[in-house]
Chain A
Amino acid sequence: MKADTNESKIFKVSRRDFVKTTSMSISGLLLGISFSCSDTAKKLSGNPEYVFSPNLFITLNGNGDVTLIAHRSEMGTGIRTSLPLIMADEMEADWNRVKVVQAVGDEKYGDQNTDGSYSVRMFFTPLRKAGATVRLLLEQAAAKEWDVDVSECKAKNHEVVHSSGKTLGFGLLAEKAAALPMPEESSVKLKEPKDFKYISKQSSIVDLKDIVTGKAKFGFDNNHLPNTKIAVVKRNPEPGAGLKSFIADNAVKVPGVIKVFTLDAPGFPTTLNKPLGGVVVVAENTWAALEGRKALDVTWNKGMNADYDTKSYNNAMLKSVKTKGKVRRENGQVDKALASAKKIIEADYVVPLLSHTPMETPCALAHVHDNACEVWAPVQDPQGVRKSLAEALGMDLKNVTVNITLLGGAFGRKSKPDFVVEAALISRTMGTPIKILWTREDDIQHDFYHFPSAQHIKVGIDENNKVTSWLHRSAFPPIDGTSNANAKEASGAELSMGMIDLPYAIENVCCETQEAEAKIRIGWLRSVANIHHAYAVGCTLDEVAKARGVDPVQNMLDLLGDDRTIDFNSLTSEFWNYSEKLEDFPWSTARFRHVIETAKEKSNWGKSLPKGSGQGFAAHRSFLTYVACVVEVAVDANNKIRIPKVDYVVDCGVPVNPERIKAQFEGGAAFAASLALKSEITVSNGAVQQSNFHNYQVGRMSDSPYETAVHIIESNEKPTGVGEPPVPPFIPALCNAIYAATGKRVRQLPVRLA
């Protein structure tokens, strides 16, 4: 559950308190934010002025330099830029005077678990309030200095301007502002959107120049600790099945290899936060470690999933969705309506296991010494990592420090702490700093995969050409199955990603699930269960349009019905609104309609195309963001698919960083195209059969959309995330375009036309 950030509180940090927790020398104005969930907040509730271990979101020095904290992890979304930008805008800071510093993992920073497209949604208002508080304090300080009324003073671009025209720079006011009492929350006024100077405007990411010169530091780039050794681990091909025996004689003969030993681990299910275990090779350099590992002679145990075979497993799931399952949403009487329908549309959909394969494989630097642990790692959930480390090492949380490097892609993989825990356990054994590397083979063969799934959808159309019934069955092993062997049923949250949140005004709806057991580590992949649900639903809608003889866009608008907000809680007790209340983030069919209609217009929907080309359409709301997507494909005589054009329309509320929103959608299209056209993990005898990019294929330049146009709806609604929402509607739009181009329906991924 996410923190309720509506209850954030801004506090001033006294220098006295600050020096207790850090050796940094600092002067000027220091401001923190407490969130209702945090330790700081609990302490604040007793004494609002006193904070022992403050977080510092904003620091304004006497020389005018501003330091802003980025507390969420940067994995390519631009969040390390966008969140500080929000504070800078409200405080009227000059962005060129701002330095962004990455926070360590600590609960005092509020929620740092960078997943679920949460960051902007969760922190937009608290960070605005923090910035606006600084602005007001600076205006009050100037007013006091000039002995005028504060209403005559306006902060503007790093200085406060009096109505007479005289000015005082932020730096000169810092100490004076720090001496003022905290203003009443009610006196802090947020800017009018028209006055934003950075929000909704163009800006570059703060790491851009470091990236293009190779200076940017990712997880495996930290060489600052003397005597750091490199570790790799050989793991059982059947995850969690354990080690029988090993012979290290040849491995230790490899020049540079220092030590070979075992790393114990729990069996299957493995849990989400523990390492898999195996045989560790520590060496002076990466190459020696890899050569040493190659020379190991290991005998593995067979485990409970030794007979896991994806072909028979997927077939069993597919068979299961042909029969009645557990009802998760039921409105009206689907069976009756289907029985009296004039036309029936019916299809099955299968999606394979998928791997994240971020370009940077899991890696970390850890140093365990003197009953303390410090790590530098590319992690999405630094607080979770800190807890896992403390637990694995039997240490107090306060002795564990998690520094967050840049993440070389993550897509959900790096929300798990397993690889960091490995590094720390190995460092403890070795007594030296350890850098761990997962090779690409390790990454592809031991991932937390996107669920394999089978679905069945059956739709009834009556004699008036009206859709009267919708039956949707879904089978996939829940993520919980990775921690709990008894968890075989998808959760309400997993089903609210594209299945039980079906927004169409259909009288008879029934959503059912069948049980499926996790036979391998399952985890969340960019947009999670929306991937397979949106694919099945979006393709079915295209088939319904065809059956009704109606244009697919018009079909969707017909089904959507009148503009309204949908009370999903009255339709199913299992609805989940991405951790938000429906009254705060309603499901608005008007906003959905608007992105659909805009996509129709912007994409020149229905334009004439040569033979072998076609347009496909789909729309989907996920993570509270409304997206419509039109994909154009060209399929040649050899069934080679090209994607010349994609049009996205997105309504994500206030677009905080439009340039990065566009980047997320361009990238989301490529990511989704890659999943749909290229990727598949298969398992035989419990072991993943793919090992690297030659057999786990991902989209390359020529597979990816040539042009992705992103149309952002202007809005003053609360901002919502954009990291995941591009993915779900793309795949059905692509498959529908393939149908338009070739007449072939795609009911199994990856797309195989031949």
Chain B
Amino acid sequence: MASVKLKINDKNYTVEVDPKMPLLWAIRDVVGLTGTKYGCGIAQCGACTVHLDGTPVRSCSIPVTAANNKNITTIEGLSTDNSHPVQQAWIQEQVPQCGYCQSGQIMAATALLKKNPNPTDKDIDTAMQGHICRCGTYPRIRKAIKTASQLMGQKASAK
């Protein structure tokens, strides 16, 4: 057992867990935040994506100890009121069908846009290739990323 300090969505947690426990299960089972999803357990589908110090990671495949003292952002921490431009774009384009993979998709899209505010189709393909959606919302995800890019541009120019 290890004592690990997790800072999730600006809140501090200390968890006593098996040091090998993947971050996903620490977030879900121990901390109790369920927005981050299990999909494959081997970093193939992207459903469990969270940000670790701003970088998107597969929480199913990194041990909880790797997140010690780092800033973790989950879907719940993106905004409390749907106000994040990516969430706004997802609502505007009505992306979700069943919705299960969308936490991971949104976290990946957010990270992409932070790094690359105006992604091309190819950039989007590359960034989102690791994220499976069995409902097939891919065209709307693409559209929503472009919409979010515009919304963020407007926000930036308004400042």
Contact = CB atoms under 8 A, between A and B. Distances in A.
A666 B18 contact: no
Nearest to A666: B139
A526 to B, nearest CB: 10
- Interface size class for chain B? 35 or more
B100 A218 contact: yes
Given A204-B94, A666-B139, A670-B138, A701 B129 contact: yes
Interface stretch (A345-353, A355-363, A614-622): A355-363
A704 B136 contact: yes
Contacts of A223: 32, 34
Nearest to A702: B125
Contacts of A76: 96-99, 135
Contact of A408 (B37, B41, B90): B37
B98 A360 contact: yes
B146 interface: no
A409 interface: yes
Contacts of A707: 139
A670 B139 CA distance: 9
A213 B94 CA distance: 14
Nearest to B140: A666
Interface in B11-52: 17-18, 20-22, 25, 28-30, 32-42, 44-45, 47
Contacts of B25: 285-287
Interface string B71-108: 00011101110100001001100111111111100100
Contacts of B75: 212-214
A29 to B, nearest CB: 32
Interface string A178-220: 0000000000000000000000000011011101111111101
A256 interface: yes
Given A440-B39, A701-B142, 4 more contacts: A213-B78, A223-B34, A674-B134, A701-B128
Contact of B100 (A208, A256, A408, A694): A408
A213 B97 contact: no
Contact of B99 (A207, A230, A256, A286): A207
Contacts of B137: 663, 666-667, 670
B151 interface: no
Which 8 A/B pairs are nearest by Cβ-Cβ distance? A214-B35, A670-B136, A408-B100, A76-B98, A214-B75, A667-B136, A76-B97, A211-B99
Interface string A492-533: 000000000000000000000000000000000000000000
B132 interface: yes
Given A76-B98, A211-B99, A285 B44 contact: no
Given A439-B41, A701-B129, A212 B98 contact: no
Given A213-B87, A214-B74, A693-B45, A406 B99 contact: yes
Interface in A334-356: none
Nearest to B97: A76
A705 B125 contact: no
A727 to B, nearest CB: 10
A684 interface: no
Contacts of A410: 98
A708 interface: yes
Tell me the interface secondary structure of chain B in the complex.
loop
- Which one of B25, B79, B96 has the highest number of Cβ atoms from chain A below 10 Å of its Cβ? B96
B97 A667 contact: yes
A305 to B, nearest CB: 27
Nearest to B124: A701
B136 A288 contact: no
A204 B40 CA distance: 29
Tell me the interface secondary structure of chain A in the complex.
loop
B62 to A, nearest CB: 13
Nearest to A698: B132
B123 to A, nearest CB: 12
B110 to A, nearest CB: 11
B58 interface: no
Contact of B79 (A213, A674, A700, A708): A213
Interface of B: 1, 17-18, 20-22, 25, 28-30, 32-42, 44-45, 47, 74-76, 78-80, 82, 87, 90-91, 94-103, 106, 121, 124-125, 128-142
Contacts of B42: 440, 692-694
A668 B100 CA distance: 17
Contacts of A705: 139
A255 interface: yes
A261 interface: no
Contact of A440 (B41, B100, B140): B41
A285 B134 contact: no
20 contacts: A75-B98, A204-B94, A208-B91, A209-B91, A212-B90, A212-B102, A213-B78, A214-B33, A220-B34, A221-B34, A287-B25, A361-B38, A440-B45, A659-B94, A670-B138, A671-B134, A671-B135, A701-B124, A701-B131, A706-B139
Contact of A409 (B91, B125, B135): B135
Contact of A212 (B91, B131, B132, B140): B91
Contact of B129 (A220, A360, A669, A700): A700
Contacts of A360: 37, 39, 98, 100
- Which one of B102, B130, B136, B140 has the highest number of Cβ atoms from chain A below 10 Å of its Cβ? B136
Nearest to B88: A212
Contacts of B45: 359, 440, 693
A411 B135 CA distance: 9
Contacts of A671: 134-136
A434 to B, nearest CB: 14
B91 A214 contact: no
Given A211-B96, A667-B137, A359 B101 contact: yes
Given A359-B47, A666-B137, A291 B18 contact: yes
A252 interface: no
A663 B94 CA distance: 9
Nearest to A210: B99
Given A666-B136, A701-B124, A256 B98 contact: no
Given A671-B134, A692-B44, A217 B96 contact: no
